[in-house]
Structure 1
Amino acid sequence: MKIAIIPARGGSKRIPRKNIKLFHGKPMIAWSIEAARKANCFDRIIISTDDAEIAEVARNYGAEVPFVRPEKLSDDYATTVDVIRHAVNWLSYQGQTPKLVCCIYATAPFIQVEDLLQGLKLMKASECHYAFSATTFAFPIQRALKIDGHGKVSMFQPEHLLTRSQDLEEAYHDAGLFYWGKAEAWQRAEPLFGSASRLVMLDRHRVQDIDTPEDWERAERLFQLL
């Protein structure tokens, strides 16, 4: 059994009601639900939320909301792994233990069906425990700068001051769209970023955090261009 779980708590502070705020004519969460449905690879699409309004919107777009997320997993300190582990354990208690679970973020309007299917392919073709979306850094991280308490600038890795960019190792970061994982990996709370994980590479122009009003505005413009 393959399950999609979309975490969507109601307490977003920097962008109030972010998960159901209209984004190009649809509640933000609808884009994630529709991508999961179009992928046609999930037996169930479940929303983990503590919020009645989010639950209603999610059901209107074809997702299930079979439980209310506990309050202790709905604050600013609950991790993605904690939330998904709770959902997997809930399913197990119902006698419906899944084999593979894909966490899809509720604020992922740039997600594509092909991304999800590529992640599933990686899970089936390798011994990995997780497969998640990622992209490259736009600038060599070896040349990153820092500023001390007196405003003085220095390099994190000064040994690379004169190293040519093409000779520096490529670096990657989490794209924050989705995370495929084996159910037992979620239940054991294994770290997402480790040797048992594989990357689904995305073009940088499809990766945009949506945490502030400025992020939201940029995402809307980017979405329109794409």
Structure 2
Amino acid sequence: MNRICTICARGGSKGVKNKNIRMLDGRPLIAHSIEQALATGIFATIAVSSDSDDILVAAREAGATILVKRPEEMASDTAAKLPAIRHCFTEAERIAGTRFDTIVDLDATSPLRIPQDIIEAVEMLESKRVSNVITGMPSRRSPYFNLVEINDNGAVELSKKLPYKVVRRQDGPPCYDMNASIYVWSREALLNNDAIFVADTRLYVMPEERSIDIDNELEFEWVEFLLNKQKEARHRV
């Protein structure tokens, strides 16, 4: 299998200013995802897409092998991410002059994943021969127990109902939060689908402590705290 890792990181950020190149544990945030991809040893190419020259420079310094300038229309606050991933992939194929079978997109704002998460998500896709794999973590809330909606009459009701009463969250069907950390596609699925969920999408489950997606200052501080705890633990061994 010829595999490519893409990392799409735009320059604008409202929750955390310049978050993709903000220093985290001594290096830019985006460098963590690039280093994880390199550590897996399974990628022929690591391509980074951005509308920001500063991000592309940081990506090159961290070890990215192909840099793709993202078009402005794919870098707005309202732009969907899937077209940006597809653009990065097709540009990388053109620049590298090769065809990739498996595409892995890593979210630059999820730096707590480990290389083994990436390897196992890829193995799930390739061994099961499915279209794509997404990642998630066990949900703290359940639509069958404590996740509610307001109906047309203004009343509160559970988001999903079962034919039996659920008295504990654990008694309902298992539910998961998408953590946006790792997306894996076959080439055909990425190029021919405009939705994340298709008939054979699979889920790779990660623990909560590796699933934080940085979207605000509190989450950035929480990731810094967890990284420091990890370093302290390694030093005690």
TM-score, reference length from structure 1: 0.90
Cα offset, 1:5, TM superposition: 0.5
8 A Cα contact 1:3 1:46, kept in partner = yes
Cα offset, 1:154, TM superposition: 4.1
Tell me, which stretches of 5 or more residues in structure 1 are unaligned?
Answer: none
Q: Which residue pairs with 2:117 in the alignment?
A: 115
8 A Cα contact 1:91 1:98, kept in partner = no
Amino acid at match of 2:18: R
Q: 204-213 or 148-157, which moves further after superposition? A: 148-157
Q: Which residue pairs with 1:181 in the alignment?
A: 185
Cα offset, 1:65, TM superposition: 3.9
Which of 199, 218, 230 does residue 195 from structure 1 map onto? 199
Q: Which residue pairs with 2:210 in the alignment?
A: 206
Structure 1 residue 35 and structure 2 residue 39: aligned? no
Cα offset, 1:66, TM superposition: 3.4
Cα distance in 1, alignment partners of residues 159 and 203 from structure 2: 26
Q: Which residue pairs with 1:60 in the alignment?
A: 61
Cα offset, 1:74, TM superposition: 0.9
Give the count of matched residue pairs.
Answer: 226
Q: Which residue pairs with 1:164 in the alignment?
A: 167
Which of 101, 105, 121 does residue 99 from structure 1 map onto? 101
Aligned runs of 1:126-137 on 2, under 5 Å? 126-137=128-139
8 A Cα contact 2:47 2:66, kept in partner = yes
Change (3 A) 1:14 1:43: same
Cα distance in 1, alignment partners of residues 53 and 6 from structure 2: 17
8 A Cα contact 2:33 2:106, kept in partner = yes
Deviations 1:175-199 (A, max 9, x none): 1111111122111134222332111
Change (3 A) 1:151 1:208: farther
Q: 98-107 or 64-73, which moves further after superposition? A: 64-73
Specify the SS of the correspondent of 1:122. helix
8 A Cα contact 1:85 1:189, kept in partner = no
Change (3 A) 1:224 1:70: same
TM-score, reference length from structure 2: 0.86
8 A Cα contact 1:35 1:113, kept in partner = yes
Specify the SS of the correspondent of 1:63. coil
8 A Cα contact 1:39 1:117, kept in partner = yes
Cα distance in 2, alignment partners of residues 122 and 9 from structure 1: 29
Amino acid at match of 1:191: A
Amino acid at match of 2:99: T
Cα distance in 2, alignment partners of residues 90 and 162 from structure 1: 52
